[in-house]
């Protein structure tokens, strides 16, 4: 476990250092996937979504907020449908306006949820977004999830009715529009999937906010299991156009990826839970404190043992040579040698002056005696 926590901290350090560039890369890749799916969905009708245009749109959307990203995707979709029929384009515009007034106007930061939900439903991973948002977000995200599901099935209704047509004959436009609306209203799969996604999101959120230990893990597992059971029963009972094996595999994958995202954000240490209680003048409080696991990423240092040993051996040899030199100098030097090295010079002029002075003193003493 300690190695996983160290790896998590290293990844967090890398993200903190290069987070701006990584976010741009993630947004570019996500935009590229979205516009490629739009190109494939309208391959015969959309001529302007060439590869350079797709790359340019993905690059532009990497530098804009999520709300504008959703509006760009809506504009591309409406223009694509408009090339088939202006009436169908008005229908899609009406759907997007409803989504705007319900969601983007009040929660613009969840624009990516509105775009990612239909993409995930198309890829067979509809439960990924509800589980992830139930763990990391608030219940308000249920609005973009429902909106994304409605957008997906409205586009699918347009695609099914106009399948194989490059453009809609103006004489048949009203009839096709009526067929799209009837298909949209009678789409039981849309209602079922939308309700399931909303229920899973709320269930995961409520379990995650519960007071028992490991609530996040239990909420994730419960969301995956319940979603698999409901979707499998729906496929058997209502003939949904979904693969049972795909539902099981992608549900497990969605739960795993969602929990990894939560793990990179927060890790709790339930072995050190503390229950604190205190009171004031009006209330008595019971607080459950669960500490977060924090571990510093240890940077491994590679040490070359062979080089260090060579350096130590070299130092020891130098020290031995110095000691030998000192020993040899001490044994060879004698007092005689030291004295022989000195040159003694005596100034005789001082001695002569001293003798002369002494003789004068002696003469003076003699004269005094006489």
CB neighbours of 214 closer than 8 A, spacing ≥ 6?
270
Token pair in block for residue 130: 């509800």
Closest of 153, 156, 132, 152 to residue 142, by C-alpha: 132
Closest of 135, 89, 95, 137 to residue 113, by C-alpha: 137
Closest of 100, 49, 36, 113 to residue 79, by C-alpha: 49
For the chain, what are the domain ranges? 2-270, 307-369
Q: Report percent pLDDT > 90 for the chain.
A: 14
Token pair in block for residue 19: 């987070």
Unique residue bearing structure tokens 């497990």: 252
> Do the Cβ atoms of 131 and 254 come closer than 8 Å?
yes
Question: Is residue 366's pLDDT more than 70?
Answer: no
> What is the pLDDT, as a whole number, of residue 312?
54
278 DSSP β-pair partners: 285
Q: How far is CA 335 from CA 12, 33, 73, 328, 330, in A?
A: 75, 96, 103, 16, 11
Question: Is residue 350's pLDDT more than 70?
Answer: no
Instruction: Could you list the beta-strand ranges (E) of the chain.
Output: 274-279, 284-289
**d(Cα 83, Cα 162) in Å, to the nearest integer?**
12
Q: Which residue has the higher pLDDT, 23 or 360?
A: 23
> What is the pLDDT, as a whole number, of residue 201?
93
Question: Is residue 43's pLDDT more than 70?
Answer: no
Unique residue bearing structure tokens 């995956």: 224
Q: DSSP letters of 161-226?
A: HTTT-SS--GGGHHHHHHHHHHHHHT-HHHHHHHHHHHHHHHHHHHHHTSSSTTHHHHHHHHHHHH
Question: Is residue 365's pLDDT more than 50?
Answer: no
1 secondary structure, DSSP code: -
> What is the pLDDT, as a whole number, of residue 203?
93
Confidence class of residue 319 from pLDDT cuts 50, 70 and 90? low
Confidence class of residue 26 from pLDDT cuts 50, 70 and 90? very high
**d(Cα 266, Cα 9) in Å, to the nearest integer?**
11
Rounded CA Rg of the chain: 44
> What is the pLDDT, as a whole number, of residue 200?
94
What pTM was estimated for this model as a whole?
0.71
The model's pLDDT over 214-268, given as tens digits with 9 standing for 90+, comes to: 888 999 999 999 999 988 888 887 767 777 888 888 889 988 998 888 888 877 7
> What is the pLDDT, as a whole number, of residue 335?
41
> What is the pLDDT, as a whole number, of residue 361?
46
**d(Cα 324, Cα 330) in Å, to the nearest integer?**
10
Average pLDDT over residues 93-108: 76
């Amino acid at each position: 476990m300690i190695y996983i926590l160290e790896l998590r901290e290293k990844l967090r350090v890398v993200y903190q250092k290069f987070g701006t560039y990584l976010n741009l890369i993630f947004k570019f890749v996500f935009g590229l996937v979205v516009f490629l799916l739009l190109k494939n969905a309208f391959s015969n009708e959309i001529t302007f979504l060439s590869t350079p245009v797709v790359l340019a749109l993905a690059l532009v959307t990497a530098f804009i907020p999520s709300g504008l990203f959703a509006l760009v995707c809506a504009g591309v979709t409406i223009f694509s449908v408009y090339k088939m029929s202006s009436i169908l384009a008005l229908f899609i515009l009406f759907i997007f306006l409803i989504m705007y007034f319900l969601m983007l106007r009040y929660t613009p930061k969840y624009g990516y949820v509105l775009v990612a939900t239909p993409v995930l439903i198309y890829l067979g991973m509809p439960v990924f977004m509800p589980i992830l948002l139930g763990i990391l977000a608030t219940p308000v995200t249920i609005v973009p999830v429902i909106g994304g599901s409605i957008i997906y099935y409205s586009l699918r209704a347009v695609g099914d009715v106009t399948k194989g047509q490059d453009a809609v004959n103006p004489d048949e436009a009203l009839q096709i529009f009526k067929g799209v609306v009837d298909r949209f209203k009678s789409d039981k799969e849309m209602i079922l999937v939308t309700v399931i996604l909303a229920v899973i999101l709320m269930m995961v959120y409520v379990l995650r906010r519960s007071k028992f230990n490991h609530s996040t893990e239990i909420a994730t597992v419960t969301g995956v299991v319940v979603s698999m059971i409901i979707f499998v029963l729906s496929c058997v009972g209502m003939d949904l156009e979904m693969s049972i094996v795909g539902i099981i595999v992608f549900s497990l994958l969605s739960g795993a990826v969602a929990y990894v995202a939560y793990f990179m954000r927060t890790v709790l240490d339930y072995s050190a839970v503390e229950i604190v209680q205190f009171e004031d003048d009006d209330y008595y409080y019971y607080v459950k404190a669960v500490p977060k696991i924090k571990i510093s990423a240890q940077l491994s240092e590679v040490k070359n043992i062979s080089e260090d040993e060579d350096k130590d051996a070299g130092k020891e040899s130098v020290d031995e040579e110095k000691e030998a030199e000192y020993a040899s100098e001490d044994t060879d030097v004698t007092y005689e040698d030291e004295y022989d090295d000195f040159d003694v010079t005596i100034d005789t002029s001082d001695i002569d002056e001293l003798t002369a002075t002494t003789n004068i003193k002696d003469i003076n003493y003699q004269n005094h005696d006489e």
